């Protein structure tokens, strides 16, 4: 058994001073059980914990580390920035450089505003959409996560076009009242909601590749149809690319799927591993933001110079050394190896869903294993039952994946072919032991 004595001691101390002993819920191992791993340091593809164990990391800080941990170019840029000062609270050139880089390369982003998190980015984009349309309601999708702002912490009601019910305690009913929820993979439901709430919906917000309730690739043409429905009804289309932006492709899901949003939110990669968020889009929409326009949004630490420098280094490297084709090929080969093995446990077949450099380890009905889950309703019941065993088996064999049955994994350029082969072997070994 892996020795986690030091992690256990730290976790006990943390429970006394932090809710659940962590600062983001999934870190608690709530969904998989056991002692959370306390990391001491990381390099390349590897995490090193406080007990001296090491793991090949496929969580990659939930996505931003596309070049691996402590990439030399990104670390150098961050160190140079912090030597000049960690925060100014003034206008500075680093944010201008990153803004010019993004707007110069992404045709649908005329202007951009940096914030501190993906949640803030979504809040800003929704406020702009409401101001631009003069409407209050927002349509989101069950299974898509857009941060922890009150209006986005909702799930679908029992009725097709019913108002949302808050997922979290402490969210006033009034805050959720203007959020409508549609099922994924159901365009008639979206049409019906617009028909019921004509001239009231400011925007549709969607992850172009839903990646917070499993990895749920949508049918070809789905995003284009959402754009058409929104625009026919005088609403905007917002892509939440906090995860997918600059990871699926340099232009994120919008580039990969060929659909242009009116507004887009970013995070993760644009900070090179430092806290960051951004929202951007058409110039006329972004000009509504203060001090240019009447939509107020502010942040003392927005466009932090260290995050801006790390982000510039990351995006510049993505442009000069595009990793997308190689990462997609490597991950697809891994998925093919695992999926073709046809390993079945208690009637559920172990599968790897892979899109670009993102993947999800899942369990499907063995009699219909080739089916694709496109909504939370399509996820097999065995996912929650079998995933904890898989997680701890991989942890024991030196692999760290996201400690949740519904969170995705990420590949980086720091991962080697031998590490991917070892992961496949370890997954196969779990299947053998579990049957």
Q: Does 131 lie in the same domain as 100?
A: yes
Judge whether residue 433 has pLDDT over 90: no
pLDDT tens-place string over residues 172-191? 788 788 999 999 999 999 99
DSSP string, 23-43: SSGGGGTTTT-SPPPPEEEEE
The average pLDDT across 55-83 equals 98
Q: Does 259 lie in the same domain as 160?
A: yes
Q: Does 218 lie in the same domain as 93?
A: yes
Reported as a pLDDT band with limits 50, 70 and 90, residue 368 is confident
Query: What confidence score (pLDDT) does residue 157 get?
Result: 28
What CA–CA distance (Å, rounded) separates 80 from 313? 11
* C-beta neighbour count of 192 within 10 angstroms: 14
**Given 111, 137, 256, 268, the catalytic residue:** 268
The mean pLDDT of the chain is 93
Judge whether residue 155 has pLDDT over 70: no
Q: Does 116 lie in the same domain as 233?
A: yes
Q: Does 103 lie in the same domain as 175?
A: yes
What CA–CA distance (Å, rounded) separates 418 from 288? 51
Told to judge if 268 belongs to the known catalytic residues of this protein, a careful annotator would answer yes
**Six-digit token pair at 151?**
């209006």
Q: What is the dihedral of CA 411, 412, 414, 415, to 10 degrees?
A: 10
Of 371, 191, 56, nearest in space to 48 by CA? 56
Judge whether residue 158 has pLDDT over 60: no
Q: Does 337 lie in the same domain as 312?
A: no
Total of domains in the chain: 2
Judge whether residue 389 has pLDDT over 90: yes
User: Strand order in 46-49's β-sheet?
Assistant: 39-43, 46-49, 54-57, 399-400
Judge whether residue 64 has pLDDT over 80: yes
Told to judge if 145 belongs to the known catalytic residues of this protein, a careful annotator would answer yes
Q: Does 282 lie in the same domain as 350?
A: no
**Given 49, 240, 262, 266, the catalytic residue:** 240
The average pLDDT across 317-335 equals 97
Query: What confidence score (pLDDT) does residue 163 get?
Result: 45
**Given 145, 257, 279, 324, the catalytic residue:** 145
Query: What confidence score (pLDDT) does residue 156 get?
Result: 34
Domain boundary among 320, 338, 355: 320
CATH number of residue 266's parent domain: 3.40.640.10
Residue in the structure block whose two tokens are 């030399």: 72
Q: Does 334 lie in the same domain as 316?
A: no
Q: Does 410 lie in the same domain as 333?
A: yes
Q: Does 402 lie in the same domain as 385?
A: yes
Q: How far is CA 302 from the centre of its chain?
A: 20
CATH number of residue 333's parent domain: 3.90.1150.10
Query: What confidence score (pLDDT) does residue 306 get?
Result: 98
pLDDT tens-place string over residues 299-311? 999 999 999 999 9
Q: Does 257 lie in the same domain as 353?
A: no
DSSP string, 352-418: EEEETTEEEEEEEEGGGTT----SGGGS-THHHHHHHHHHHHHHHTTEE--SSTT--EE--TT--HH
Domain boundary among 293, 320, 347: 320
Domain boundary among 320, 352, 377: 320
Beta partners for residue 56, in sequence order: 46, 399
Q: Does 329 lie in the same domain as 309?
A: no
| Domain around 343 | 5-66+323-434
3-state secondary structure of 63: coil
Judge whether residue 351 has pLDDT over 60: yes
Judge whether residue 135 has pLDDT over 60: yes
Query: What confidence score (pLDDT) does residue 161 get?
Result: 35
Helix 382-396 × helix 417-434 angle, to 10°:
120
The average pLDDT across 158-185 equals 72
Helix 324-341 × helix 417-434 angle, to 10°:
20
Query: What confidence score (pLDDT) does residue 432 get?
Result: 74
């Amino acid at each position: 058994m892996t020795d986690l004595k030091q992690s256990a001691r730290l976790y006990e101390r943390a429970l006394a001073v932090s809710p659940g002993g962590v600062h983001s819920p999934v870190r608690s191992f709530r969904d998989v059980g056991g002692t959370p791993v306390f990391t001491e340091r990381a390099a390349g593809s590897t995490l090193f914990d406080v007990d001296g164990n090491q793991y090949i990391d496929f969580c990659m800080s939930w996505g931003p580390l596309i070049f691996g941990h402590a990439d030399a170019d990104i670390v150098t840029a961050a160190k140079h920035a912090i030597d000049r000062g960690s925060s100014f609270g003034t206008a500075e050139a680093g944010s201008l450089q990153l803004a010019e880089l993004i707007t110069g390369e992404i045709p649908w982003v005329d202007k951009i505003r940096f914030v501190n998190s993906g949640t803030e980015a979504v809040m800003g984009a929704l406020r702009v959409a409401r101001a631009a349309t003069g409407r209050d309601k927002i349509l989101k999708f069950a299974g898509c996560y857009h941060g922890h702002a009150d209006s986005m912490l909702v799930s679908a009601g029992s009725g097709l076009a019913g108002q949302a019910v808050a997922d979290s305690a402490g969210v006033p009913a009034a805050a959720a009242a203007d959020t409508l929820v549609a099922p994924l993979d159901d365009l008639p439901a979206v049409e019906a909601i617009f028909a019921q709430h004509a001239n009231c919906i400011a925007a549709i917000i969607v992850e172009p590749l839903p990646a917070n309730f499993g990895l749920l690739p949508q049918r070809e043409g789905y995003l284009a149809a959402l754009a058409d429905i929104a625009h026919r009804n005088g609403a905007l289309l917002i892509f939440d690319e906090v995860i997918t932006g600059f990871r699926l492709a340099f232009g994120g899901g919008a580039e990969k799927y060929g659909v242009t949003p009116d507004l887009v939110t970013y995070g993760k990669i644009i900070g090179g591993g430092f806290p960051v968020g951004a929202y951007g889009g058409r110039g006329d929409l972004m000009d509504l933001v203060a001090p240019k326009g009447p939509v107020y949004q502010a942040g003392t630490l927005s466009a932090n110079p260290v995050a801006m420098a790390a982000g510039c280094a990351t995006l510049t490297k993505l442009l000069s050394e595009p990793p997308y084709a190689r990462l997609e090929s490597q991950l697809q080969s891994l998925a093919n190896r695992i999926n073709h093995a046809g390993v079945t446990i208690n009637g559920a077949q172990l599968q790897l869903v892979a899109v670009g450099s993102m993947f999800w380890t899942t369990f499907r009905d063995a009699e219909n294993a080739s089916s694709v889950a496109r909504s939370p309703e399509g996820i097999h019941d065995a996912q929650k039952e079998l995933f904890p065993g898989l997680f701890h088996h991989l942890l024991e064999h030196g692999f760290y994946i996201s400690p949740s049955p519904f969170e995705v994994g990420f590949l980086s350029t720091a991962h080697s072919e031998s590490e991917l082969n070892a992961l496949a072997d370890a997954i196969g070994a779990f299947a053998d032991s579990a049957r």
